Structure 1
Amino acid sequence: MAAKLRFNCTNNMAEYQACILGLKMAIDMNVHELFVIGDSDLLVHQVQGELAVKNPKITPYVQHVEKLCKGFHKIVFIHTPRIKNYLADALATIASMIKNPDTDYINLLDLDLKEHSVHCSYVEAEPDGLTWYLDIKRYLESKNYSEDAMFNQKKSIRRMALNFFLSGEHLYRRTPDLGLLRCC
């Protein structure tokens, strides 16, 4: 089976989509015992419960795979390094040579994540009239601190700056779910 994903996704999401497609095919073929060989160490260990799922966007995929696994009497996931996964490389090469009609796509899983609250914090003005993120922005722009910054303050600014980045004049904060919050 070869399929194209027609939505933007991470490599891990694509690995899970492929796994889900394979499991569905096996279920459709009335397979009761399945030996899954995967080259995604993360996927194999997350499905086996050996690694925690840190990215909330991956959680629904893991849950969907676990649900599909219940359709088998026995299912085993084994990790093989990509360099030794000759079969997958051969299939990927063949799949890339085949011209697929535009109708053969894998659609994005329809998932709702409504259990997380969304909060908005809005600061109209700081007591000194400067923005709360000024020190972070200054550090990212020029690696400089304010003149009166103490050692611990400098250390805090460096640590906080890891979660921010500049794009032109705009400062963005990375959220744990890989979203971006615009600060200015």
Structure 2
Amino acid sequence: MKIKKLEVYGDSTLIIYQVKGEWQTKDSKLISCKKYLLELIKEFEEISFTHLSQDKNQFADALATLAVMTQMEEGQIMQLLQIKARSEPVYSFMIEEETDGKPWYHDVQVYIKNKEYPPEASRNERRMIRKLAMGYFPSEEILYKRSSNGELLRCINAKEARRILFETHEGNCSTHRNRYMMAKQILRRGYF
């Protein structure tokens, strides 16, 4: 690729410090890899190695996932990948506003009760509503989602979701944990 200047970031303290020569390489499996890497380093005019802790290396995890998902042949020209970063965490966009005043599950609920589709629904959207409806269970005005273990989780609208998030994070049930643990706790409390 004729790259002459390279910045390398890694989340393995062991590898980064061994390559930089600050730590010795004792593992026989790594000695040959390090020797090969030191030969590759000679191909660059300028190269630097920087250690990133794993919590600051989410971008590398995402790229590694993409690399595993794609297969490339030698000499193949790769299309440019443009990445945009959000100014807010992604999970803050998960509670959709109800612009029409109806909850996110309204179409499924109407289909289950009356076997009616929204007037503007396309053929594919109708098929999707039918498929979705199989995993839900109505009880009067409340709709429940059947979980993988058969438990019924109450479907909630945006207003209820905000209240439950507040209660789970700061109220009587406060966890002050990360978003994954909060989501698990909300599911354990019986909400979807």
TM range (shorter): 0.3 to 0.5
Higher fraction of helix = 2
TM-score after normalising by structure 1 = 0.37
TM-score after normalising by structure 2 = 0.35
